[in-house]
Structure 1
Amino acid sequence: MIQKMEYILRRLCSYGIEYKDHGGYTHYCIKPLPAVQLAYNSGQDSTTGKTPALVEKGWNPLLPVDHLKSNLLTIYPTAKDFHEMMKRACDTSAKCIPEAKEYNKQRWDKSHREHDFREGDQVLVSTLTLIISKDLRRLETHS
Structure 2
Amino acid sequence: MSRVAKNPVKLPAGVEVKLVGQQLSVKGAKGTLDLNIHSAVEIVEEAGELRFAARNGDQQTRAMAGTTRALVSNMVQGVSQGFERKLQLVGVGYKAQAKGTVLNLALGFSHPVDYELPEGITAETPNQTDIVIRGIDKQLVGQVAAEI
Looking at secondary structure, tell me which structure has more strand per residue: 2
Larger RCO (CA under 8 A, 6+ residues apart): 2
Q: With the length of structure 1 as denominator, give the TM-score of the two structures.
A: 0.24
Q: Which has the higher helix share?
A: 1
Normalising by structure 2, report the TM-score. Answer: 0.24
